[in-house]
Structure 1
């Protein structure tokens, strides 16, 4: 890159980065003009105005690149297909006016408010793409919803959760429940950790530092797209030892090679938990854990929120650089001892 001290280490790093990106000629230090990346899958300005559904398809193909949850991917497209395409899909996008959108969404705005609100937001993004491509000048979906449809009063309903006092009963039920052994072990992991279903289903053996008793969930499996570490308590260590007998030759801890993603199905844990307590979800299980933490009156807000990998205030994130792993270690062990009565899960090795 050059010689020190004429070229500082910082400038050398920058020069190396620009060279790799093919922006800088390292021999002449001349910047190369950036390539203009076209959008060949969209019609040019002088061609026929595209239909709404055609622009929506391009919007969806780009949006899906940033989504990882299969359910959310389907919702993004299916809501347009169900509620918008029948009336507007075949219209040139520059002919769609605000009155058309209001007529489409008014019948469902109150009876399916959340779905209607999210779908209209997606429609607004489609029109914004068309605006950037100069097919339209004004986004017809940018209007005040309350004026168009009137005020809607929403009553927040939380997901059903299990009372913290019943967590030990659930543990005993899991131990005796008639279910596949890998699913039993997964249910125990979810109860002991308060982690989301995807984080547990998708865990790989390389995510586990069993000698250090640390589990790191990779960012692509996290809701907030941020890696999350948790300490492995004694009971959890036994469970992973059990799983090594069941799936130790696979990359995934809860491997199911015949399934689409190669792991246990997404709804498997929820359906089993609901056999113990109707309508409960993994979010409700996390609420049980969070309630227990708060009732101990000895854990800080930062520790409780970090334990559940909740998004913090941006200002807090700017200064909070520690994930409190060491402080959380006794916390997670205390919760596990409360749930299990201090006992260890049965070792599969002993049953061979």
Structure 2
């Protein structure tokens, strides 16, 4: 490289106006476009190829700055490095760095958006958003997700770990999922600080010991017949929904959302689609004669068997619970009748029906994954007499469903 001549001056650069190239020396040129705009370029030859690299417009880059940038380019060339390649690599690195500054809140929103379609209801997504907004966002929501560490996670969880244990446990799992998503998306690296095993279990108490799992209060199976007689005497769509929930051993949500097009009265089967099942798998339910009678006497005033007050809606989540409370049975829950059914299977009919038949009636997945892989049927034919026997037991006081 020869000595830099510096042919241009700030005054000359300002005066020049004719389109063309004006050299300053050692590869630095002032370019004036046809429209009159001025910019700097650096021309060089590398590996026998002539290249031209833009250094910026005159409005932002002065002559002195242009000379400094040209000097940096010449230094790279002296080392056999291409200035254009080096600049592009630096821009890519900066862009990646900025991407990694994505905040936890931004990652949470992206995670929820990506999974919203696979969740069963808008309520589920709302629960995610609310818990994160209430607890996580105030502490580290605005921080880069790569900066979220175990200290920050504990700062969120510790205040509610003992007092709102169930909420805290769910929140921990949500934070863990979002951080896993951020890692896979290359917004962070390293271990997940919200992981329980090997991490938070060493800093927070066992949630099962703080707030032991409490089963849904259930009616003793020996009392179900007299209870059904009292229930049958009550009027209203919600009472009938509770009745069908008991006869079919279904979950409240499955009953409340029951649609007429799911039910084949002639074949005596109710098919709940996978989208409405907790396990995400279609569930066929044998309908006893009592259940068929109940359904036949329900008015068909829309798509749903148990419509809500507004057209096109279903009964609210609390409507079935309200029936129990009005009966003076606030000590039990609708979900608890599933336990009542299971206890009856185990204690009343003994070995008359195999364990897996009873579990399939509750739409439970087999705990043994190997066994489940080979047993793909739903044991429907074996469940037909089981559900009829259960309905007959519920009906032994002599009432006829609706």
Normalising to structure 1: TM-score of the pair? 0.78
- Structure 2 Cα separation of the partners of residues 88 and 321 of structure 1: 45
- 1:57 and 2:113 are equivalent in the alignment: no
Contact map agreement 1:163 1:288 (CA 8 A) in 2: yes
User: Could you say which residue in structure 1 is the equivalent of 2:227?
Assistant: 170
The SS at the match of 2:267 is coil
Structural mapping, 1:286-301, within 5 Å = 286-295=338-347, 296-297=349-350, 298-301=352-355
- Structure 1 Cα separation of the partners of residues 318 and 205 of structure 2: 37
User: Could you say which residue in structure 1 is the equivalent of 2:90?
Assistant: none
User: Could you say which residue in structure 1 is the equivalent of 2:79?
Assistant: none
Contact map agreement 2:271 2:284 (CA 8 A) in 1: yes
Displaced runs of 4+ in structure 1, greater than 4 A? none
Among 116, 125, 135, the residue aligned to 1:73: 125
Contact map agreement 1:159 1:281 (CA 8 A) in 2: yes
- Structure 2 Cα separation of the partners of residues 151 and 266 of structure 1: 31
Question: How far off is 1:114 after superposition?
Answer: 2.7
Structure 2: 5+ residue stretches without partners: 1-94
Q: Which has the larger radius of gyration?
A: 2
User: Could you say which residue in structure 2 is the equivalent of 1:200?
Assistant: 255
Q: Deviations over 1:245-284 (max 9, x none)?
A: x2x242222223726x621112211221233321422321
- Structure 2 Cα separation of the partners of residues 267 and 97 of structure 1: 40
- Structure 2 Cα separation of the partners of residues 55 and 69 of structure 1: 21
User: Could you say which residue in structure 2 is the equivalent of 1:45?
Assistant: 96
- Structure 1 Cα separation of the partners of residues 278 and 340 of structure 2: 19
C-alpha RMSD of the superposition: 2.1
Normalising to structure 2: TM-score of the pair? 0.69
- Structure 1 Cα separation of the partners of residues 219 and 131 of structure 2: 32
User: Could you say which residue in structure 1 is the equivalent of 2:322?
Assistant: 271
User: Could you say which residue in structure 2 is the equivalent of 1:140?
Assistant: 193
User: Could you say which residue in structure 1 is the equivalent of 2:91?
Assistant: none
The SS at the match of 1:45 is helix
- 1:233 and 2:288 are equivalent in the alignment: yes
Among 330, 337, 344, the residue aligned to 2:385: 330
Relative to total residues, which structure has the larger strand share, 1 or 2?
2
User: Could you say which residue in structure 1 is the equivalent of 2:183?
Assistant: 131
- 1:303 and 2:352 are equivalent in the alignment: no
Change (3 A) 1:315 1:166: same
Instruction: Give the number of the structure with larger relative contact order, counting CA–CA contacts within 8 Å between residues 6 or more apart.
Output: 1
- Structure 1 Cα separation of the partners of residues 148 and 388 of structure 2: 59
- 1:220 and 2:271 are equivalent in the alignment: no
Among 335, 344, 347, the residue aligned to 2:400: 344
Structure 1: 5+ residue stretches without partners: 1-43, 347-352
Change (3 A) 1:150 1:250: closer
- The size of the alignment, in residue pairs, is 297
- 1:92 and 2:144 are equivalent in the alignment: yes
Contact map agreement 2:239 2:323 (CA 8 A) in 1: no
Change (3 A) 1:45 1:230: same
Question: How far off is 1:55 after superposition?
Answer: 1.3
- Which range moves more in the overlay, 95-104 or 215-224? 95-104
Question: How far off is 1:242 after superposition?
Answer: 0.9
